Amino acid sequence: MIKSPISLAFEKSKKEKRPALLTYTVAGDNTKKKSLDILNSISKYADICEIGFPHNTPIADGGQIQTSAYRAIKNGIKMKDTFQIIKKYKMKNSKPIILMGYFNIIYQYGENKFLKKCKQVGVNGLIVVDLPWPDNKNFARKCKKNSISFIQLLSPTTSKSRMIKIIKDSHDMIYYISMLSTTGGKLKVSSKEILKKYNAIKKLNKSKNLVIGFGITIKNIFSLKRADGLVVGSALCREIALSIKKRQNPVTNVTIMVKKLKEKLS
């Protein structure tokens, strides 16, 4: 069986005895060209790049990511532009890309048409924030048929019996939401507590790649390095906003941050 690019990225980081670094940025922030330039640049250091398709009511996203989405929408970003950014990125990069967003946009686009387009442009994985298990089972099957990994979500309140079922149905990677908050919130629980919960989940199935997201910054990333992977999103969106405010180049500044994050894990 051929291993997916996402699985291979985790294999590589495990061989290097470190967690995989996953980055998250929003398509079209702050312009279509700049968001592509950011992706191309940070992929030198990131193991997997997540890209969000902007949504005007992003329920799970914190202030920084919401602001990024609003900037992109204001600049006229559409789903077709998001696909174009991914297509151009994939022409130059072999690093896996995960598309993240909300189901109503997929529904409006048409599930089959959306997945066909994802496959065409080179999307490797999908995170659909508002499509929980078991409601996502049919869609996840469709993803697999299109060689796209559907990424299941777990949270601190997910019961053990439910977790076992979700993990069983998961593909190449599972996303553990570290706290009950929107993205980018300050960690309300200690890294020690997060890892305790993480390790309990990991024991349920050691072969699955389990990543931690929400509230990860340059200050706390080192303390979580026992995880299979760590997702940094809001900190990067904040850096884009600061760069715009200071009239600096967000591509340069975000790349410097991702390089520093990688160094903390190496």
Considering the chain, what is the average pLDDT of its residues? Answer: 92
- Report how far residue 17's alpha carbon sits from residue 209's, in angstroms, rounded to the nearest whole number: 14
Name the catalytic one among 29, 61, 81, 239.
61
Place of tokens 């072969």: 207
- Report how far residue 200's alpha carbon sits from residue 163's, in angstroms, rounded to the nearest whole number: 11
Which H or E run contains 202? helix 191-204
Helix axes 111-121, 79-92, angle to 10 degrees: 30
For the 5-265 domain, the top CATH level (class) is alpha beta
Dihedral angle computed from the Cα positions of residues 39, 119, 102 and 91, in that order, rounded to the nearest 10 degrees? 10
Nearest to 186 by CA among 254, 258, 234, 245: 234
Does residue 135 have an active-site annotation?
no
Name the catalytic one among 29, 37, 47, 50.
50
**Tokens representing 227?**
């995880």
- Report how far residue 33's alpha carbon sits from residue 24's, in angstroms, rounded to the nearest whole number: 17
Q: Return phi, psi of residue 220, to 5°.
A: -110, -5
Mean pLDDT by 10 residues, the chain (266 residues): 93 98 94 96 98 70 69 87 98 96 94 98 96 96 98 95 97 90 57 94 96 92 96 93 94 98 96
- Report how far residue 106's alpha carbon sits from residue 94's, in angstroms, rounded to the nearest whole number: 25
156-198: per-residue pLDDT in tens?
A: 999 999 999 999 999 999 999 987 654 444 556 789 999 999 9
Nearest to 150 by CA among 22, 133, 164, 10: 133
Nearest to 179 by CA among 216, 145, 150, 210: 216
Does residue 50 have an active-site annotation?
yes
Which H or E run contains 98? strand 97-101
**Domain regions of the chain by residue span:** 5-265
Q: Which amino acid is at 206?
A: K
Which pLDDT does position 15 carry in this prediction?
A: 98
- Report how far residue 259's alpha carbon sits from residue 242's, in angstroms, rounded to the nearest whole number: 18
The SS3 call for residue 220 is coil
Greatest C-alpha distance within the chain: 51
**Tokens representing 166?**
């979700």
